[in-house]
Amino acid sequence: MQVTFKIWRQEGPKDKGAIRAYEVDGLTEDMSFLEALDHLNELLVLKDEKVIAFEYDCREGICGQCGVFINGRAHGPHDNMTTCQLHMRSFKDGDTIVVEPWRAASFPVIKDLIVDRSAFDRIIEQGAFISAKTGTAPEANAIPIPKEVSDRAMDAAACIGCGACVATCKNSSAALFTSAKINHLNGLPQGHAEEHKRVAEMTYQMEIEGFGSCTFTGACEVECPEGISIINIAEMNARVTKSKVLG
């Protein structure tokens, strides 16, 4: 199988990048998309060129480190899937595949396809935890949590922090990411003590990181590899109002 990759190359944060084309042959349908890029990189090394910098780690859809724009869509042509789970059988022989980094002001490009998502860590830092020290826990079954409550928390907690929601949003909003974490913790009895403070501080951090506002287009939930619903955003907004009244 042969394709033409058109890939964003950018030496560093301050450089002006550009799309470069690479014709790649010798691919198979069973290869993952990232393995096709590995293959291209091996060819580049042998041609004495610098490799394309792109991110990955687990390559099984759970670490959240991979993520590029492929033909104008976050994580490629399918809904709810990470880049590492995409296989070349989703493309045809002779296809041209355009590959770009996440585009968002809050995710500056570091090099080629690699962006800096540390803004997410800083949102987490502002309250995505339960302030209890190791060694202070009561017996696990002491607080019963109904299955529906636990399942709902799990649905929200499934976020892998890949940033596709931000990348695909026309406003570069981090509302889906932030709301998922807030609803996970605020939905559980253990998270109640700090619920209002958590909502206020995390949403504030989201704003100062420069993420845009949510206008409910729903684009994020289409790309979210964990299928996290935008209902979470509505719930977060309700919690913000509540925290202003009660917090």
Residues 11-40 that bind other proteins (CB under 8 A): 12, 28, 30-32, 34-35, 38-39
CA R_g for the chain = 20
Q: Which is nearer to other proteins, 52 or 169 (CB)?
A: 52
Q: Judged by CB under 8 A, which of 33, 55, 74, 228 binds other proteins?
A: 55
Question: Is 94 an interacting residue with respect to other proteins (CB under 8 A)?
Answer: no
Sole window of 14-22, 52-60, 92-100, 230-238 interacting with other proteins (rule: CB under 8 A): 52-60
Instruction: State which of positions 185-224 bind other proteins (CB under 8 A).
Output: 185, 188, 190-191
Chain positions 165 to 184 lying near other proteins, rule: CB under 8 A, are 184
Least separation in angstroms between residue 220's CB and other proteins is 19
Do 26 and 39 form a contact (C-beta atoms < 8 A)?
Answer: yes
| 106 part of the interface to other proteins, by CB under 8 A | no
Q: How far is the CB of 189 from other proteins (least distance, A)?
A: 9
Please select the residue that binds other proteins; options are 16, 25, 94, 131, rule is CB under 8 A: 131
Rounded Cα distance, 167 and 136, in Å: 40
Interacting residue with other proteins among 134, 170, 245, 246 (CB under 8 A): 134
Torsion sign over Cα 31, 34, 37, 38: negative
> From CA 118, how far away is CA 135, in angstroms rounded?
30
Rounded to 10°, the helix 195-208/175-186 angle is 170
> Please, are residues 52 and 7 in contact by the beta-carbon 8 Å criterion?
yes
138, 170, 245, 246: residue in contact with other proteins (rule CB under 8 A): 138
Q: For residues 205 and 181, what is the distance between their CA atoms, to the nearest angstrom?
A: 13
Closest distance of CB 60 from other proteins, Å: 5
Determine the interface stretch with other proteins among 94-102, 108-116, 169-177, 210-218 (rule: CB under 8 A): 108-116
Give whole-number Cα distances, 112 to 24, 27, 182, in Å: 18, 22, 32
Q: Which of 19, 105, 130, 193 binds other proteins (CB under 8 A)?
A: 130
Q: What is the 3-state secondary structure (H, E, C) of 154-208?
A: HHHHCCCCCCHHHHHCCCCECHHHHHHHHHHHHCCHHHHHHHHHHHHHHHHHHHH
Least separation in angstroms between CB 130 and other proteins:
5
Tell the smallest beta-carbon distance from residue 36 to other proteins (Å). Answer: 8
Q: Are 169 and 217 in contact (CB under 8 A)?
A: yes
Q: Which residue in 128, 174, 199, 233 binds other proteins (CB under 8 A)?
A: 128
Q: Which amino acid is at 101?
A: P
Q: Does residue 63 bind other proteins (CB under 8 A)?
A: yes
